[in-house]
Amino acid sequence: VNSLAVSSWVKNKGLRFLGVPKYVASGSHMHDSMQYRFMVMERYGNDLQKTFEGGGKKFSVKTICYLALRLVSERRASVLSYS
């Protein structure tokens, strides 16, 4: 799927963002007779683990509210996109 088609779909659904990082590449790697598959995607800033550990293993109220809003927004978008 090309990025223009994805952008068009997001716009047609009235979404502000897709909520999924862009796909960059994928492949496989052999190590010790084991095949490992991988996928590379864009990274969005710090991950939750770094935020959690950086805050003394606690999330701030601001972070919790932000995460809740994003989760509700993503859930709403996924429900509406299948309607």
Mean pLDDT of the region 55-74: 88
Q: DSSP assignment, residue 36? A: E
What is the CA 59 to chain-centroid distance, rounded? Answer: 19
Report whether pLDDT(31) > 80: yes
Mean pLDDT of the region 41-60: 85
80: confidence class by pLDDT, cuts 50, 70, 90: low
Evaluate the CA torsion angle 5, 7, 12, 13 in order and state its sign: positive
Which tens digits make up the pLDDT trace of 2-28?
Answer: 778 888 888 888 887 777 777 788 999
The mean pLDDT of the chain is 83
Question: H or E stretch including 68?
Answer: helix 61-81
pTM here is 0.45
pLDDT of residue 2: 72
Contact between 72 and 65 (Cβ < 8 Å):
no
List the beta strands (DSSP E) in the chain. Answer: 23-31, 34-41
